[in-house]
């Protein structure tokens, strides 16, 4: 899908003091955690054609905003800008896309957009940098998160008459993480063999479980089943 856009130089959130994020009355101050983005575009000479999309869904969809897991605002028009790692918000689905704000990045704030849930995790305990993660499944001991990414490739001009111009493109990247109840995060490798090893002392158990049920641990739906299985098993052993 080809589109035309003005390449963004920067997407800046207005500075926010730490006091706001920890304000006990944050749930009542719903206007405080949505800030107007300062979108600075280059001149029209830099209009570029690209394939793909920087968004999880280009269309704004209705969703809910939660603070400390409590519903704070419902039926909010939102979309996830994967490339800039921001939850974009506007007043309504009918509002002009020029009037877009961004949600404050805070571990206290989470959202659901249609059927997808997103949380913000700060860097540390297995994460080199903070960011938004899509929740695949959550448990008392283990949870599975998905980090959506976008790699941007600049356009290339044809060097000879036998070549064609190559438009810029956004390429999807997906990384899965297992989150432990102690707050630690482990990034899962791409290969099946290395993924099994990630489970440590449960490696053989996971292999047997996958073999018995003919699961492919490199596929999201099967990986989800494995994480749910281990979480339930740990719950049972703790009772």
**pLDDT tens-digit series, residues 174-193:** 999 999 887 788 999 989 99
- Phi–psi pair at 60, nearest 5 degrees: -70, 135
Q: Which residues contact 114 (CB under 8 A, 6 or more apart)?
A: 57, 61, 62, 63
Q: How far apart are CA 30 and CA 77, in angstroms?
A: 15
Q: What is the SS3 assignment for 102? A: strand
Question: Is the pTM for the entire model greater than 0.95?
Answer: no
Percent of the chain scoring above 90 in pLDDT: 54
Q: Report pLDDT digits (tens) over 31-57.
A: 545 554 544 333 333 346 778 888 999
Helix (H) or strand (E) holding 223: helix 220-238
Q: What number of residues does the chain have?
A: 239
Specify the higher pLDDT residue, 123 or 146. Answer: 146
pLDDT at position 47, please? 43
Specify the higher pLDDT residue, 238 or 204. Answer: 204
| Placement of tokens 């080809």 in the chain | 2
What is the DSSP secondary structure assignment for residue 187, as one 8-state letter?
Answer: E
pLDDT at position 33, please? 54
The answer to whether the Cα torsion of 238, 232, 195, 146 is positive or negative is negative
What pLDDT band is residue 219 in, cutting at 50, 70 and 90? very high
């Amino acid at each position: 899908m080809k589109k035309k856009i003005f390449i963004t130089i920067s997407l800046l959130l207005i500075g926010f003091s730490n006091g706001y994020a920890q304000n006990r009355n944050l749930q009542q101050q719903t206007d405080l955690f949505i800030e107007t983005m300062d979108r600075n575009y280059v001149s029209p000479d830099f209009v570029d054609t690209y394939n793909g999309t920087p968004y999880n869904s280009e269309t704004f969809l209705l969703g809910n905003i939660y603070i400390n897991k409590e519903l704070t605002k419902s039926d909010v028009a939102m979309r996830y800008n994967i490339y800039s790692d921001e939850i974009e918000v506007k007043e309504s689905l009918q509002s002009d896309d020029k009037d877009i704000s961004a949600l404050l990045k805070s571990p206290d704030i989470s959202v659901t957009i249609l059927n997808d849930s997103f949380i913000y995790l700060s860097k540390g305990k297995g994460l080199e940098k903070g960011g938004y993660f899509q929740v695949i499944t959550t448990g008392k001991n283990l949870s599975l998160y998905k980090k959506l990414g976008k790699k941007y490739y600049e356009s290339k001009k044809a060097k000879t008459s036998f070549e064609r111009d190559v438009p810029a493109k956004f390429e999807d990247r997906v990384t899965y993480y297992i989150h432990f109840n102690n707050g630690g995060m482990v990034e899962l490798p791409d290969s099946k063999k290395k993924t099994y090893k990630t489970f440590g002392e449960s490696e053989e158990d996971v292999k047997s479980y996958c073999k018995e049920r003919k699961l492919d641990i490199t596929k999201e739906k099967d990986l989800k089943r494995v994480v749910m299985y281990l979480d339930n098993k740990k719950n049972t052993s703790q009772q």
